[in-house]
Chains A and B, each alone.
Chain A
Amino acid sequence: MPLRRLTIPEYNNTVHDLFGDTTQPANAFPQDDTTTLVFPTAPLLDSLRTSRLADAAAALAAAVDVTKLGIGKPASDSEQTVLDAFFSTFGPRIYRRPVLAAERTLLMALYQRGRTNEGLDVTGGIRLLIEAMLQSAAFLYHWELGPQAPHLEGSQVRLGSYEVASRLSYFIWATMPDDTLLSAAAADKLQTPDEIVAQAKRMLADPKARQSVTAFFNAWLGIDQLSKRTKDADAYPQFDDSLKASMQAELESETVGVALDGDGSLTTLLTGTSATLTQPVAAIYGLKNVMGMAPQSVTLDATQRGGILTRAGWQAAFGGSKGSNPIKRGVEIYRRLLCGTVPPPPPDVPLPKDASSGGTTRQRFAEHGSNACATGCHALFDNFGFAFENYDGIGQYRTMDNGLPVDASGSVMLDGAKVDFKNGIELSKLIANSQQALACFASQTATFALGRSLQDADQTSIQGAVAAYGSASNGFRDLVVSFASSRTFRYRTPAVDEVLK
């Protein structure tokens, strides 16, 4: 379990829960790293990042209404009463665990300096403590053990209840634990799988689960790429911010709806035709009855659409700027949904020819693939992309491409066998029914939960989650609950040279 730091959304959500902040101060931080995992991680700190943390902490502390922290009245109560209340009630919320005696001593030294040298009153002193604690390691890092000896069980470390509480809450909610979780941790009631299952189920039913589940699907499926996309203005003049937002809203309501409100199954996610739309994306589907920006429930034409991959937004996110770009789509399906490894592209390969040279997109890209490396790499993923040739660069349905009929048929390898499909709707079904996709779905969930790349030792817990997905009726939710109560989630391997005693 490598040491992780709060990501930008985690920071924003956490200070929202602590202070009711709505300014999202972490949006001013330099961006998180998205190259290590498909999910964002917080990079090493340097002076710029650290100074931004200091700015955010100072602004948050300055804005706090100290009378609303549940620590009494700093202006009239005795100083000792206020401080005791702060360290016993609010401090533990910031640190997501009790504040240790040595930490309090260090903080009190700062407090006294502020009172003496800066002439702060008690309220000012509390603000100073908050400013400091928001920059301290206990707040910024996911290590709710603090500087204490871990609990060893054989060669493994069993996580304490506070650590489990935070792991659960940042996994399922993308924010700090609530009072119920912190109380359970205080009573050490997060040590058995049953206790964790009960909490995880409660948490999935809470509206806060939406922010984490949205983030998971957006990063996993690449929905978060859509807002950054720009298209050739001559080819797709309608591809503006309002269309992008409308597309993204459709995808998010689909993923989160299936995962949290629906049957939670990959099958529904990859084959479903019901959609919730606003006018801009509805126009792409040719649905003239959907007007305005109030989302409307519709059923899409099952001969043209089926599942998240066939939706306009997903096709636009990985389409080209002037056309479909089947290779990009194929690569993204192969690595994101099947957890395939894509070899780096070889140097100096000519790009596929422009449409002006004639032929369908598929014909031109197939020529590129055979030029580049016929069997080594493009064979792995090209057909996954060709299956979606019925969708242009912004996901509009088409049967003709560059004056010639579209061919979206082909075959791919799934679960070690060659399977044939006629188009992207059929391929989506095949993917949904494959063990490979299910195992990848579980692995992606586990990677998101742990914030690290997976190891062999995690496989038992992941297979348990796959089994739980298959045995009950809540799909994704069963998978999450199973993984959250698994051994991988509750234990960790000691780090090299970690002090264990």
Chain B
Amino acid sequence: MLPLLHAEMAGGQAVGFPKRLVTVAFGHGVCGPYFWPQGDQIVIGPNSSQTLSPLASWSSKMLMIGGLDNKVYIDHNLHYAGHTCYPGLFSGTLKGDNSIDQAVADGLKAKGVNKAGLHLVLGVDPDGNSISYKAGGQINTPETDPWALFKRIFSSYSLPPDTLAKIKAHKQSMLDYLGKDLEAFGARLGTEDRVKIQAHLQSIRDLEMQLQASTGGGPTCAAPMIGSSKSIDVPTRSSLMFQLLGAAMRCDLTRVASMTIQDDHGRFNYRFPWLNVSDDYHPLAHDGAGGYEKKVKIDTWMFQQVAALVKDLDGSVEGTATALDNSVIVVASNMADGKAHTVGGLPFVLIGSCGGAIKANGRCLKLGKWAGKKSNWMDDGGVPVNHLLASLSNAMDLPEVAGFGDKAYAGTLDGVLG
């Protein structure tokens, strides 16, 4: 595949290639002893960080961060709200007021970047949950249908220009009409109801921007073949969704994405038959050490999904670096450990250096109360996740911020940005 853009090199990093951010999460936490390294370096092996084994080949491009808390939840007496804390995980606010992916997407739009798939909100089996939220706290519903995603991202490329122009004209006049219809309809409504119409109107505007950004004229890079069978199980859907995400990033159709792999809000009867784990996930996660053997299998599967994306991006050369080097994939869970549901001491793994902005070089940063400790994964770390989110925003070259999310937790992380 040809590089998309001409690149110049500066200081060992490709210049001219876009930076990309992906947030990924799954529910029920990790098994601390099988996840965190003992020291300050990531060592993935039979007796260390086994959960991360699918990522073993990329450990030198990773950064683990221990000691981060969903602090706004803890300070609202929601220390054990692991199952319902997704709104805070990537927004640093109580109600999901603007998650980092949304903020970065908005920041890129403000810089004039517009693409049909600029911001992808995806999921594999999120059960109505999401890690992505708009400013004001409205949930961004994850797309879980690979064919609908394919259509949105890739199908316009195969259309002749005049056909595409016709479709765009039809959709545009429809969106114009709907905007006017909604404005008239909402004019008399009360405050709370007007919020609903405003959200509807905003979604029309978002679709309009996507439409304007979609261009035809043949593919600039290869779209993945995803087949057409609509009846698929979770592992197949996961594979397709991550393939499409990787292709969208390699083809520079997407700069920012969120992926909610799995979340069941702690409901009963979630299982992993494809891993030969027939137990109910919730009680299994609650079982603590007693359930580790099976839970590690599940956690490892989560990272295997991420590893497919990592491999895809790292195989795509961009100048003297790769698409992975120009991206950062941030993987987390909503709780530290399924036993206690605690939203402090959350697992965070970053892969890729975001165009050299992030020092992802095989370290495990242990922050706050975790500093210098070998194994302290069950407690709070004391450092608000907001600091990481602010650093991520700065890594994406948006106007520099001194904090992210709830203002009570302003600050950035030391030692993360290069």
A113 CB within 8 Å of chain B:
yes
Chain A contact residue count (CB 8 A cutoff): 59
> Which among B134, B148, B185 has the greatest number of chain A C-beta atoms within 10 A?
B185
The answer to whether B269 and A50 touch across the interface, beta carbons within 8 angstroms, is no
The answer to whether A137 and B186 touch across the interface, beta carbons within 8 angstroms, is yes
Please give me the residue from chain A that is nearest to B127 by CB atom: A31
Q: Which residues of A contact B138 (CB under 8 A)?
A: 44, 46
What separation, in Å, do the CA atoms of A52 and B141 have in the docked complex?
11
What separation, in Å, do the CA atoms of A145 and B180 have in the docked complex?
18
A141 to chain B, nearest CB (A): 8
B177 CB within 8 Å of chain A:
yes
Q: A137-B181, A496-B190, A498-B190 are in contact. Are A47 and B207 (CB under 8 A)?
A: yes
What separation, in Å, do the CA atoms of A494 and B189 have in the docked complex?
9
A152 to chain B, nearest CB (A): 13
The answer to whether B341 and A348 touch across the interface, beta carbons within 8 angstroms, is yes
The answer to whether A44 and B196 touch across the interface, beta carbons within 8 angstroms, is yes
The answer to whether A110 and B174 touch across the interface, beta carbons within 8 angstroms, is yes
The answer to whether A232 and B278 touch across the interface, beta carbons within 8 angstroms, is yes
Q: A321-B268, A321-B269, A496-B191 are in contact. Are A114 and B173 (CB under 8 A)?
A: yes
The answer to whether B141 and A347 touch across the interface, beta carbons within 8 angstroms, is no
Q: Which residues of A contact B207 (CB under 8 A)?
A: 47, 50-51, 54
In the complex, chain B residues 119-153 whose Cβ is within 8 Å of any chain A Cβ: 121, 127-128, 134, 138-145, 148, 152
Q: Which residues of A contact B193 (CB under 8 A)?
A: 2-3, 495, 498
Q: Which residues of A contact B152 (CB under 8 A)?
A: 51
The answer to whether A136 and B181 touch across the interface, beta carbons within 8 angstroms, is yes
> Which among A107, A110, A143, A146 has the greatest number of chain B C-beta atoms within 10 A?
A110
B111 CB within 8 Å of chain A:
no
The answer to whether A103 and B203 touch across the interface, beta carbons within 8 angstroms, is no
The answer to whether A48 and B141 touch across the interface, beta carbons within 8 angstroms, is yes
> Of the candidates B141, B178, B190, B278, which one forms a contact with A49 in the assembled complex, judged by CB atoms under 8 Å apart?
B141
B29 to chain A, nearest CB (A): 13
A111 to chain B, nearest CB (A): 10
The answer to whether B278 and A137 touch across the interface, beta carbons within 8 angstroms, is no
The answer to whether A45 and B200 touch across the interface, beta carbons within 8 angstroms, is yes
What separation, in Å, do the CA atoms of A110 and B271 have in the docked complex?
49
What separation, in Å, do the CA atoms of A45 and B200 have in the docked complex?
5
A456 CB within 8 Å of chain B:
no
The answer to whether B80 and A351 touch across the interface, beta carbons within 8 angstroms, is no
> Of the 9-residue stretches B54-62, B279-287, B359-367, which lies at the interface with chain A?
B279-287
A10-36 interface code vs B (CB 8 A; 1 in, 0 out): 000000000000000000101101000
A106 CB within 8 Å of chain B:
yes
B182 CB within 8 Å of chain A:
yes
A254 CB within 8 Å of chain B:
no
Q: Which residues of B contact A103 (CB under 8 A)?
A: 181, 184
In the complex, chain A residues 253-276 whose Cβ is within 8 Å of any chain B Cβ: none
Q: A50-B207, A321-B280 are in contact. Are A117 and B169 (CB under 8 A)?
A: yes
Q: Which residues of A contact B342 (CB under 8 A)?
A: 347
B6 CB within 8 Å of chain A:
no
Q: A103-B181, A137-B197, A348-B339 are in contact. Are A499 and B173 (CB under 8 A)?
A: no
Q: Which residues of A contact B186 (CB under 8 A)?
A: 137
B170 CB within 8 Å of chain A:
yes
B217 to chain A, nearest CB (A): 21
The answer to whether B269 and A109 touch across the interface, beta carbons within 8 angstroms, is no
Q: Which residues of A contact B203 (CB under 8 A)?
A: 45-47, 49-50
The answer to whether B173 and A113 touch across the interface, beta carbons within 8 angstroms, is yes
A418 CB within 8 Å of chain B:
no
Q: List 16 interface pairs A-B (beta carbons < 8 Å), by A numbering.
A: A31-B128, A45-B196, A48-B140, A51-B152, A107-B177, A117-B169, A132-B177, A135-B174, A137-B182, A137-B185, A138-B185, A149-B188, A230-B271, A233-B278, A347-B80, A348-B341
Q: A51-B152, A110-B174, A132-B178 are in contact. List 20 more A-B contacts (CB 8 A).
A: A3-B189, A28-B145, A46-B134, A46-B138, A47-B210, A52-B148, A54-B171, A54-B174, A137-B200, A138-B185, A143-B189, A228-B269, A232-B279, A232-B280, A233-B278, A348-B341, A351-B286, A494-B190, A496-B190, A499-B187
